[in-house]
Every structure is written in C-alpha cells, then in structure tokens.
Amino acid sequence: MFGQLITDPVETVGRIDYPTAVILGALTFTIATIGINIVAHFVSPGFDFSNVAPKLISWRMGGMMAATASIFTTPWSLFNKPAVIHYTLDILGSFIGPLYGVLILDFYLVKRGKLAVDDLYTTSEEGKYWTRRRDRRAMMALLPAALIAILCVMLSSLEGSANFSWLIGAGLDALFYYFLADRKRAV
C-alpha cells in the first residue's frame, strides 16, 4: 500500500491520511493493550494472592493487592536504572529456581514421571492431587535453597554468581529435596 513492507501496525496507522481511521486504530491499540495488561498483570496475580489464603482473600481482593503492590514498587523508575532491573530479575530467579527444582524432582523421583491428567483439571475432592495440606519436606528444601540463592545475589563478593541465581536455587533445591522426599508416597 505504501510501496514498502511495514511490519509495525502503529506505523501503518500513522501513515493513513484519514483522521477517523487514525483515531479508530489508536483506540484499537489502546483497548488491546489494556486488555492484555489486565489479563497479564491483574487476573493471574489476583488468583495467586487468593490461593495463599482462599478463605480470607477473594480473587478481587487479590487483584487489588497486586494493583496496590505494583504502585509501591514503582516499576516506571526501573527504566532509568538498568542495573536495578538486572538485580530484580536475579532476586526473582532466586525464588523461582527452587520452585522449579522441587517440582521437577517431585515429578521424576516421587511420582516417577506418571501423571493423572484428568485429575489435574478436576475440583472434586476425589482427585489424586486434591489436598488441603502443604508438603513440609518440599518447603524445608525450598527455604534454604532460596536463601542461598538470594545470598549469591546480595553478597558483593559473589557478584558473578548473581547471574546464575535461578540455576543455583533450582540445583540446591533439587539436591535438598532429593534427601528429604518421601519416595514411598509415589502416585
């Protein structure tokens, strides 16, 4: 249409000479951006907070907690300091890595790679994975692994290890959980 390939839809709308089409295009991008951000940054954290204490925190309250926390973390200030973004991701990796480690080791060591797929999607109390309890052994493995991974980020003498905080946390948690896991409860 313009004699060249344009892959950016915003640029395409910007080149249109009709004000009505430009306004309609801008509204479309705005609505799409809002919709995507609501799903990505409100719905999922709302369910996450709600799952921590379902009797006390509703999904709506969890979403409001996430929205409030997002204001106090001032994410817009991170764009001015790339080192802060790196530091934040390393800390986040220190928590997510151990979660991955326990999930993978539990799947292969305890459950021996077997999964009841239908029971993953049921809300029935008869499902294999329905439980009200927490796995204390997994938590006992997760906490020190996450703490060590965070120390790798925080201590300046271990600065090079901060880039590997996810891997360190996952590996340590898998190691700790290997010795703590109850292999007799295999599914």
Return the pLDDT at 21: 79
Instruction: Please name the amino acid found at residue 2.
Output: F
- The string of pLDDT tens digits covering residues 129-175 is 666 666 778 788 888 888 888 888 887 666 677 777 888 888 889 88
With pLDDT > 70 as the criterion, what percentage of the chain qualifies? 89
- The string of pLDDT tens digits covering residues 100-138 is 888 888 788 777 777 777 777 777 777 776 666 667 787
- What pTM did the predictor assign? 0.58
Q: 3-state DSSP helix/strand/coil percent for the chain, to nearest 5?
A: 75, 0, 25
* Token pair listed for 30: 């705005």
Pair 120, 179: CB distance under 8 Å: no
Element (H, E) at 72: helix 59-72
Pair 158, 152: CB distance under 8 Å: yes
Instruction: Please name the amino acid found at residue 40.
Output: A
